Amino acid sequence: MRILVTGARGQVGQQIVRRGAATGLEVVGMSSTELDITVESSVHSALTEVRPNVVINCAAYTAVDKAELDFQRAADVNGRGARNIATACHTTEAHLIHVSTDYVFGGDASEPYEIDAPKNPKTVYGRTKLDGEGAVRAVAPSAQIVRTAWVFTGTGSDFVATMHRLESERQFIDVVDDQVGSPTYAADLADGLLRLASTAQSRTVTTLHAANSGTATWYQLARAVFEEIGADPDRIRPCTTEEFPRPAPRPRYSVLSDRAWRAAGLEPLRPWRDALHAALADHSPQA
Ligand SMILES: NC(=O)c1ccc[n+]([C@@H]2O[C@H](COP(=O)([O-])OP(=O)(O)OC[C@H]3O[C@@H](n4cnc5c(N)ncnc54)[C@H](OP(=O)(O)O)[C@@H]3O)[C@@H](O)[C@H]2O)c1
């Protein structure tokens, strides 16, 4: 099986390429410079040349705040780009796994979102990702749409890496304690997506949710990072969303039900706390 990964320089794309190669799968990663998904002819050429059995579309405009002022670009990548990928997959008979987001929901639920819960995106990012889902569904009905949430790697400028860095820079850190989600290690998500790609029986389930299991607030996640690195978690102080206004409103509740994932015959992703431990071990100076 040959798998083509778009957005291969991103958090999730990078991990799929890395983990796929480690498990002996033939995975071809294309970054935004190698394949711009907004250019229909480039997408068609890439699929015609690579001839993948499966495409995992990780390419996306993910700058949630910036998108509020940059609707056109977000729509081009998340909507039109997704349509281009779906069209080329349909034409070349490649199976499409399209990665989407919890931001398609309103973020005001109090129990885990099922796949068919009403959509009510509150941000440009969420609206354009929902448009992308619609385009994929319209063009490639058998494609699998996989929504995830709160992705971290523990590197770069993601939340986990930022808490790790701030530990040596600040005595106290105020972190939002009224937003709930399921922190998801990109490596675990990548493994899950590769399993999905390799499990033909799963394909009857066309919309799924994949996130590490369990829930946390950002405050609880920050405390867990401190515990993992041997720092005093009481240096993390809870605060409210109102104290940290952002251009794009953040969902208060982003927990995704894994019912469809399990119905597809896939193992749920491990608890986020175990995943965090693994991420910090994977990226410790000794690792
Ligand atoms: N991160 C999260 O917490 C999160 C949560 C829920 C869902 N998701 C979804 O998960 C998927 C992967 O996200 P991620 O976390 O890996 O985001 P990411 O790190 O921002 O990666 C996205 C990648 O897409 C690439 N890209 C942007 N425009 C493109 C274009 N026109 N053509 C081709 N590639 C393009 C970017 O290229 P450059 O490297 O050149 O910028 C980047 O490498 C996305 O669908 C996202 O919506 C993410």
Cβ of 61 less than 6 Å from ligand 1? yes
Backbone angles phi, psi at 261, to 5 degrees: -60, -45
CA angle 193, 196, 200 (to 5 degrees): 155
Q: Are strands 95-101 and 207-209 parallel, antiparallel or unpaired?
A: unpaired
- Residues 6+ positions from 32 with CB-CB distance below 8 Å: 7, 9, 59
Cβ of 251 less than 6 Å from ligand 1? no
**Of 4, 6, 32, best ligand 1 pocket probe by most atoms within 8 Å of the beta carbon:** 32
Question: Which residue's CA lies nearest to atom 37 of ligand 1?
Answer: 32
The residue behind tokens 């690579």 is 50
The Å distance, Cα 118 to ligand 1 centre, comes to 24
Query: DSSP state, 235?
Result: G
The Å distance, Cα 10 to ligand 1 centre, comes to 5
CA dist 238 and 168 (Å) reads 19
Domains and CATH numbers, the chain: 2-153+185-212+255-269 (3.40.50.720)
Reading the chain (287 residues) residue by residue, the pLDDT tens digits are 999 999 999 999 999 999 999 998 999 999 999 999 999 999 999 999 999 999 999 999 999 999 999 999 999 999 999 999 999 999 999 999 999 999 999 999 999 999 999 999 999 999 999 999 999 999 999 999 999 999 999 999 999 999 999 999 999 999 999 999 999 999 999 999 999 999 989 999 999 999 999 999 999 999 999 999 999 999 999 999 999 889 999 999 999 999 999 999 999 999 999 999 999 998 765 55
- Amino acid, single-letter form, for residue 77: V
Instruction: Please confirm, yes or no, whether 125 is among the known catalytic residues.
Output: yes
**Measuring CA to CA, which residue among 222, 158, 178 is closest to residue 12?**
158
Closest atom, ligand 1, to C-alpha of 147: 7
